[in-house]
Chain A
Amino acid sequence: AQRVTQPEKLLSVFKGAPVELKCNYSYSGSPELFWYVQYSRQRLQLLLRHISRESIKGFTADLNKGETSFHLKKPFAQEEDSAMYYCALSRYNTDKLIFGTGTRLQVFP
């Protein structure tokens, strides 16, 4: 069965520090992986997807099939990065979008 694990419920860092939000998945096929973000009082929205291999707002994420991981990284955190981050998985071009439990990132000034 598909499963997404985010081991940290809360991650607190100071402004300018590096950030890594962990995501591990279990799926036997070829998944699509995503990171979604929910800022305070805003809708859940897509941050980035592994296929596009982009850097969005300074965040990057690399799919590691050997370790079945898709960790989200940013070299220098900003206060405006404070939000709830969800890792999500979908089988390519098909049905369910499954979310992890989420990690709350707090960036202190």
Chain B
Amino acid sequence: EADIYQTPRYLVIGTGKKITLECSQTMGHDKMYWYQQDPGMELHLIHYSYGVNSTEKGDLSSESTVSRIRTEHFPLTLESARPSHTSQYLCASTSNTEAFFGQGTRLTVV
């Protein structure tokens, strides 16, 4: 079934650890996005990609990095997690008419 998947759903990790949030989509979309969202609050665009080997920073400055080696895969990495990175991270991919969102990863850095 065509969908967009994020793993893990929840992650609690210690300060200074390196983490990678996974995002995969089986819809064949070229455009993919990462948003950061605190509960019930605004979505901030932190990274986007137009296709393989294309990545751009979004409107909100983020210490995270992304890669797009395959169309279906758009992982986000934090080299050294800090408590300020605690948030929900949403991945999305878009056709030209609609954005499809994953279920999100809720990250807590302690």
Contact = CB atoms under 8 A, between A and B. Distances in A.
- Are both chains from one complex? yes
A11 interface: no
A70 interface: no
Contacts of B90: 44
A100 B43 CA distance: 7
Contact of B101 (A34, A43, A98): A43
A51 B31 CA distance: 20
Contact of B97 (A44, A49, A84, A102): A49
Interface residues of B, number: 24
Contact of B99 (A46, A100, A104): A46
Interface of B: 31, 33, 35, 40-43, 45, 48, 50, 56, 58-59, 90, 92, 94, 96-99, 101-104
Interface of A: 34, 36, 43-46, 49, 51, 84, 86, 88, 93, 95-102, 104
In the complex, the 3 A-B pairs of residues with the closest C-beta atoms, listed nearest first: A101-B42, A99-B43, A44-B101
